[in-house]
Structure 1
Amino acid sequence: MKKVLKGSQLATASNQRVVLPASIKPHVFTNLAWDSIDRLEETLTGKGTSHRVNGIVVQANVYGPQLPRAELPHIEKLKQRSVTIEDQELGVYVAGARVGPQPLPTREHCVQETKEAALLACKKNLVWALARKTDTENQTIPSWTGFNISTRDQEPISQDIVGYLPTINSPATQLTTVFEILNQSELIRKELHLETIVVVMDQALYAKATEIAWKHKERFSNILLRMGTFHTICNALAILGKRFRDAGLKDICIEAAIVAEGSVNGVLDGKHYNRAVHKYIYEALMRLAWAEFTPWVEDSVPEKSGMIKSFLDNVKDMASDLNQQTLNNLLQSPLLAELITLWTDFLEHLRHNNGELSAFWMSYIDMAEDVILGLLRASREGDWELHLHAIRTMIPWCFAYDKINYARYLSPYFAQMTNLPEKHPSVYEAFKTGQFSVQLSSNNPFGWIPVDQATEVTVNKDTQTPGGTTRFSLNAGAVKHYYITAEHRSAFLGQLREMVQGNKSEVCHAELQRPRIQKDEEAVSAVVSLIHEWVNPFAEKRDLINISTAKAAPKEIASDLIKAYEIGEQCYATFKDETGERPTSKEIPLPNGNQQAENIQ
């Protein structure tokens, strides 16, 4: 049954309604994102706080004729001072026997296609690192994000439309709630007349949603579930911190004063997304590696030494006039192609012929560049092939460092995404144009963000504002009134904040401002100086030691650390062989720890 209330109003199987904002148009590719939200009621014991699910709908701005909207119904004024709310309990969903997905092999030629995107990203990162080295005393080149903003000045910017969906007043940990999410998503798909709709979730929600979707393939066959990139990046940061924390990374962060001692554990656990720690460490290690590169070239291929000087002169010219055209000219130059070949050979030397310590810290550069910066760049540039490359590179690290849930679910996720051209061609074409990310900024050409991150900075931010849910009433009636209008108040709050803050188009990004550029340079220089004082991992052959204390790792531990990625790759291959690239029913723990019988309303 359909009614019209400032948009399309849909009745779900549980009698709840999905209200689509009037700005959302039919026949336009759409992303949905759902995320759990914790309300901050103040209770004496800390118990009794509510846990609900927020949702957003995202569409690209399209221009052209639009279908007329149905007229709003006339509502008689009753002059009531209170609102009567009917209880709308969700229909009960019980799982029954588990059913996994059909085996789906990875398209290997798709994996080969992603390597070109990874090579281009590697070139951009190398040019950025070299540009930052041109004049460290009077640094004018911004850090990684600022550099990419400056070199995309010719890219068109079109803000996406983000609408808020009604809050689902039920904990996200329950399968009943996830079943309702899928039902509402399917109703939205039908209302928008779409062949397929994309639904983005964090790993915890994704695991439950895929379990239900696999069991009811026909019912939810037109919903494409995606694991949120933002939460995947946070997991990658945690892996990086776990691997290098006790090898000297924690000491570097504290001694170089790039992280306060009280915050360092949270940073290394991947809980502080906005900290630039790993960008600093990555750039510092790149500088240390480059310092060893020139002597290596003079010894190995002395006839190429002049080529390096010529290329650095070109980098200086680009740095003096930093824009997209000068960067593209440099990327297309034969000198860079020749240099990349030499640089790749040198990095292979550091990985395999320069001792365990060098190989270990080269894995930091590889993880930071291929996974973390790869996922970031893919989202911010809308590069789908680079996204797939970063996911593929990350999977073995998840196996190696006991990120079991991500290892299990990223494997079938990656296989499904490589098969999009055959299974969901319309979604694949949209993703190729960058519509797996969201453009919220009106002036940042490097400002696309993951869809699941968009929920954090839009609806979650607006509903968590102090005064909105802090010191919130525990009265049952007040809570019900709050939830029935939560998405509307959140949307109004976001619009009000935008009006009060004014147009920010004239304010440049923080990393482009002179004080921030100097601060970033001081942080990187501090890390480089500190490592020089301790142990430079690339200077000479060494066994695996802690670079801050010089304490050697036991042989068996050193062997495991050096072979971690290889071990993870073997586990990934075994997992694919045994399960057909899908998590098995036996291995996945039940969400609520209890077996349930099937009964779907």
Structure 2
Amino acid sequence: MGFFQFVFDNADFNVATISGHNTFHSMGGIGCVTPDSGKSRHTINRSTKLVKADVTGEFGENYERTRIEILPFINLQPTDPSSIYTALNFSRKQSSLHGMKTCFVTFDQPLNAKAIEIVASDEILQGVVVRMNGFHLLMSFMGSVGYIMGGSGLEVLWESVYAPASVVHMMTGHAYVHALRAHLLTSVALFTFMMTEMEDKTKESLLALHKAIIGQKPVDLEDEKVMQTLIEKNQQRIKTEKERSQTRRLWLNYMEQVSLIKQFIYAERTGDWALHLNSIRQMIPYFHAAGHLAYAKSARIYLQQMQALQTTMNETEFGKFTKDGYFTIRRKDNLWGGIISDQSIEQNLMRLLKISGGMTRGRGITDSSLAMLVHAFPYCIPIC
């Protein structure tokens, strides 16, 4: 039996670009089935040339890939409670048809709050669990980091590489790809600067461990002791550096925030449920500090609901969702093949509505062509 979950998002597009009227309001959705049984109604054979394993190397084990099905559009205002109820009820029925007692549905933050209220007030939907939108949560967290680091010189540093107009969006977390790469590179640069002040013996131990990890060699007990000693030394050094000046404290805190970003991505990519919850728990104080109160509130409610899952879910389903990592969407059957659930709908549905041939290209759209697109997309997108 497959494990089903559903993701819904706004599909609002201004299809009449000249007048600004007759905007297309709808809610798009996808159904995610793990493992991919290969029984999709949309199948097309294609030849692929794969790189041999002896070239790339192997790490870990094979993981179950997820099949993504495009659901029919709900042609109503996405913020209308009727639209949300329709999506919830449809997901519940589909999960029930496939033998699942618990139905997972993901919405973005504004719809998430309304969906939780609807589920709490309707006995029919008691088996439905509303999940947090991790992709937009991560964007909001990067915006929180940018707010906290405002005026620190981070913008000036980034402007030496990126255009100033782009840096404005990167600091708010909206330019996701650029912002993520900039945070990672800045963190590496700061760590490299810290390395220059380390003892030679500590550097040698770090390099030896790095080579062992890159070479995928088994780590023996002696190496584990060395690693533990390095961690303890590093924590003590960070504590000492924070006490030396406020500037050092600011940038060391920034490195911890970037580490939290990497930790969250690692949890989603590998399907580590405990790390996923722990990452969100550590993000909440930063949401409060930056004034992102909507995500601070939603994240806290989400944690409370997820911690109570074990008492309400079927044991088999709970094991698949948490231990087997089915909470994430896997595009590939390897360790690093998972993506965040609401990121999958952006990649598989929303992106194709905006590219050439989609709804937003051209000088306008008629009712007949709009109807054709809405009904054809669920069948055309999997082939594309």
In which range does the TM-score fall when normalised by the shorter chain?
Answer: 0.7 to 0.9
Instruction: State the partner residue of 1:325.
Output: 217
1:298-349 residue CA offsets vs partner (Å, 9 max, x unmatched): xxxxxxx74x255135236437xx24335x5599521111111111111122
Instruction: State the partner residue of 2:375.
Output: 484
RMSD over aligned CA atoms reads: 2.5
| Separation of aligned partners in 2, 1:63 and 1:172 | 31
- Paired amino acid for 2:118: I
- Paired amino acid for 1:185: S
1:500-539 residue CA offsets vs partner (Å, 9 max, x unmatched): xxxxxxxxxxxxxxxxxxxxxxxxxxxxxxxxxxxxxxxx
8 Å CA contact retained: 2:2, 2:35:
no
Instruction: State the partner residue of 2:271.
Output: 382
- Paired amino acid for 1:265: V
Instruction: State the partner residue of 2:85.
Output: 179
Instruction: State the partner residue of 1:414.
Output: 303
SS at match of 1:386: helix
Instruction: State the partner residue of 1:475.
Output: 366
Deviation at 1:262, TM superposition (A): 2.1
8 Å CA contact retained: 1:152, 1:323:
no
1:402-431 residue CA offsets vs partner (Å, 9 max, x unmatched): 111111111111111122222224443122
1:261-281 residue CA offsets vs partner (Å, 9 max, x unmatched): 221111111112112100011
Deviation at 1:379, TM superposition (A): 0.4
| Separation of aligned partners in 1, 2:379 and 2:263 | 36
Instruction: State the partner residue of 1:29.
Output: 3
Identity of aligned residues (%): 24
> Quick one: structure 1 residues 151 and 37, their matched pair in 2 at CA, closer, same or farther if it must change by over 3 Å?
farther
- Which of residues 266, 269, 291 in structure 1 aligns to 2:172? 269
- Paired amino acid for 1:60: T
> Quick one: structure 1 residues 489 and 278, their matched pair in 2 at CA, closer, same or farther if it must change by over 3 Å?
same
Normalised to the residue count of structure 2, the TM-score between the two structures is 0.87
8 Å CA contact retained: 1:151, 1:323:
no
SS at match of 1:377: helix
- Paired amino acid for 1:248: G
1:551-597 residue CA offsets vs partner (Å, 9 max, x unmatched): xxxxxxxxxxxxxxxxxxxxxxxxxxxxxxxxxxxxxxxxxxxxxxx
- Paired amino acid for 1:164: I
Specify every segment of 5 or more residues in structure 1 that has no aligned partner in the other structure, as ranges.
Answer: 1-26, 70-149, 295-304, 494-601
Deviation at 1:472, TM superposition (A): 6.8
| Separation of aligned partners in 2, 1:348 and 1:397 | 20
Specify every segment of 5 or more residues in structure 2 that has no aligned partner in the other structure, as ranges.
Answer: 42-55
Instruction: State the partner residue of 2:195.
Output: 290
- Which of residues 391, 395, 400 in structure 1 aligns to 2:284? 395
> Quick one: structure 1 residues 416 and 155, their matched pair in 2 at CA, closer, same or farther if it must change by over 3 Å?
same
Matched, 1:314 2:241: no
8 Å CA contact retained: 2:145, 2:286:
no
| Separation of aligned partners in 1, 2:204 and 2:187 | 25
- Paired amino acid for 1:476: D
| Separation of aligned partners in 2, 1:152 and 1:350 | 39
Deviation at 1:364, TM superposition (A): 0.5
8 Å CA contact retained: 1:53, 1:172:
yes
Matched, 1:336 2:242: no
Counterparts in 2 of 1:139-538, with a 5 A limit?
A: 153-216=59-122, 218-255=123-160, 257=161, 259-275=162-178, 276-294=181-199, 306=201, 308-315=202-209, 317-318=211-212, 322-325=214-217, 328=219, 333-351=224-242, 353-370=243-260, 372-424=261-313, 425-430=315-320, 431-441=322-332, 445-469=335-359, 470-471=361-362, 473-493=364-384
Deviation at 1:486, TM superposition (A): 2.5
Say which is worse superposed, 190-199 or 281-290, in terms of deviation.
281-290
> Quick one: structure 1 residues 312 and 473, their matched pair in 2 at CA, closer, same or farther if it must change by over 3 Å?
closer
8 Å CA contact retained: 1:438, 1:451:
yes
| Separation of aligned partners in 1, 2:256 and 2:57 | 23
Deviation at 1:239, TM superposition (A): 0.6
> Quick one: structure 1 residues 432 and 157, their matched pair in 2 at CA, closer, same or farther if it must change by over 3 Å?
closer
SS at match of 1:247: coil
| Separation of aligned partners in 2, 1:288 and 1:153 | 31
8 Å CA contact retained: 1:152, 1:324:
no
1:431-470 residue CA offsets vs partner (Å, 9 max, x unmatched): 221111111136x641310111011111222233212212
| Separation of aligned partners in 2, 1:421 and 1:267 | 38
1:4-42 residue CA offsets vs partner (Å, 9 max, x unmatched): xxxxxxxxxxxxxxxxxxxxxxx4211111111233513
Instruction: State the partner residue of 2:28.
Output: 54
- Paired amino acid for 1:356: Q
> Quick one: structure 1 residues 240 and 336, their matched pair in 2 at CA, closer, same or farther if it must change by over 3 Å?
same
SS at match of 2:297: helix
> Quick one: structure 1 residues 151 and 341, their matched pair in 2 at CA, closer, same or farther if it must change by over 3 Å?
farther
8 Å CA contact retained: 1:29, 1:197:
no
| Separation of aligned partners in 1, 2:23 and 2:266 | 37
| Separation of aligned partners in 1, 2:370 and 2:222 | 57
| Separation of aligned partners in 2, 1:457 and 1:231 | 13
> Quick one: structure 1 residues 488 and 330, their matched pair in 2 at CA, closer, same or farther if it must change by over 3 Å?
farther
| Separation of aligned partners in 2, 1:408 and 1:160 | 30
| Separation of aligned partners in 2, 1:281 and 1:463 | 34
Give the structure with the higher percent helix.
2
SS at match of 1:54: strand
> Quick one: structure 1 residues 312 and 492, their matched pair in 2 at CA, closer, same or farther if it must change by over 3 Å?
closer
| Separation of aligned partners in 1, 2:364 and 2:267 | 43
| Separation of aligned partners in 2, 1:237 and 1:163 | 30
8 Å CA contact retained: 1:32, 1:56:
yes
| Separation of aligned partners in 1, 2:189 and 2:75 | 47
- Paired amino acid for 2:356: P
Normalised to the residue count of structure 1, the TM-score between the two structures is 0.57
Instruction: State the partner residue of 1:134.
Output: none
8 Å CA contact retained: 1:462, 1:491:
no
SS at match of 1:51: coil
8 Å CA contact retained: 1:40, 1:472:
no
Say which is worse superposed, 182-191 or 375-384, in terms of deviation.
182-191
